[in-house]
Amino acid sequence: MSDKEKKPAEDTSNGKTGENAEVEIFHRINRLKVKAGGDAKSGPGFLDPNAVDRAQQRIDEKAATYPVEVKDVLKNLTDSWNRLKGDTDNRNASELEQLYNYANHVKDLAATFYYPLMQHFGLSLREFSEKLDLSKPAHHTIVQAHIDAMWAVYFGGIKDHGDNNAKELKEIVSKAIEKHGKTD
């Protein structure tokens, strides 16, 4: 057997798709497993039982950096929004994409380190960014409400949905969406 890729026995580059497409199957020797110290033909390799614990410990240790990391992303998100505000013709697609990505980053970070309230606002803003129309002042109000709420969560050190401040912030944002989102 060769290590090099061979052309399939049949030419499948005929552009056929769907039911008429020919299918070629490539079997491989499991060189990755051999590289990882195993035998390609033996059973599955096992993991050091402590590996998962060690790795999870690394994640838990990283949780201490969350406030710094999320603050950086919130700054980027705010800067991105400040640049976008004046673009009432919706021409700056790449900046809009940035806003979406930063909201997504906030959501990912908050979810990973278990900050459900921040995760909630990150996800909500990410979803709203998909339909954001900068020509509509109401949409500006909704984005601003999200960003203000995120900063309030950050400075207030609010972690989950439970306390009154959290409930109040969620209500402010959901009312903004309810009130201004209806102007579509």
Is residue 44 involved in binding another protein (CB under 8 A)? Answer: yes
* Residues in CB range of 96: below 8 A, 6 or more apart: 84, 90, 129, 132, 134
Task: Tell which one of 83, 86, 89, 107 touches another protein (CB under 8 A).
Answer: 107
Is residue 5 involved in binding another protein (CB under 8 A)? Answer: yes
Is residue 26 involved in binding another protein (CB under 8 A)? Answer: yes
Task: Tell which one of 22, 160, 163, 171 touches another protein (CB under 8 A).
Answer: 22
Task: Tell which one of 51, 127, 168, 175 touches another protein (CB under 8 A).
Answer: 51
* Residues in CB range of 36: below 8 A, 6 or more apart: 45
Site stretch for another protein (CB under 8 A), options 8-16, 80-88, 152-160, 162-170: 8-16
E strand or H helix at 147: helix 137-156
Task: Tell which one of 64, 89, 94, 164 touches another protein (CB under 8 A).
Answer: 94
Site stretch for another protein (CB under 8 A), options 82-90, 102-110, 135-143, 153-161: 102-110
CB contact at 8 A, 131 and 147: no
Q: Which two tokens stand for residue 8?
A: 């399939």
